[in-house]
Amino acid sequence: SFIGEESVAAGEGSILTDNPTWIIDPIDGTTNFVHRFPFVAVSIGFVVNKKIEFGIVYSCIEDKMYTARKGKGAFCNGQKLKVSGQEDITKSLLVTELGSNRDPENIKIILSNMERLLSIPIHG
């Protein structure tokens, strides 16, 4: 089976089943792409029994290939990635995304979450 982000966004129905399924977003970061902001990627995931098995993200502008496989770790251009080990959130950089859903109830939830994050003395 195949699920494409662009076709789902266009209104086509999609149901994730237990069948092996490719999930593809050919322009991950569509808003960035439309506004010529250079952070876009091609994202591909493979799911079996509704569980992710592996994923690939190719950052086109940076020419970086990110890969990850269940139980095998994550890599960037073949180099193993690891978390920083930083446990103090005040020494961390946090990034958030507002999403595209502008439903008033959804916006309230997002802003509430952001308010809680901004009350922590984080770097940004």
Render pLDDT for 7-43 as a digit per residue (tens, 0 to 9): 665 666 778 899 999 999 999 988 889 999 989 999 9
Q: What tens digit of pLDDT does each residue of 80-92 get? A: 999 888 888 888 8
Number of Cβ atoms within 10 Å of the Cβ of 59: 18
Same domain, 15 and 71: yes
Considering the domain boundaries, does residue 124 fall inside one?
Answer: no
Extract the annotated binding site for Mg(2+): 5, 25, 27-28
Establish if 31 belongs to a structural domain. Answer: yes
Q: Please tell me whether residues 45 and 74 are part of one structural domain.
A: yes
Known binding-site residue numbers: 5, 25, 27-28
CA distances to 1, 13, 52 from 21, rounded to whole Å, are 5, 15, 9
Same domain, residue pair 65 and 106: no
**9: CATH:** 3.30.540.10
Summarised one tens digit per residue, pLDDT across range 58-88 is 999 899 999 999 999 999 999 999 988 888 8
The residue range of the domain holding 93 is 89-119
Do 70 and 107 belong to one domain? Answer: no
List, for residues 94-108, the tens digit of each pLDDT value.
777 777 788 999 999
> Is residue 99 one of the residues assigned to a domain?
yes
Quickly state the pLDDT bin for 45 (edges 50, 70, 90): very high
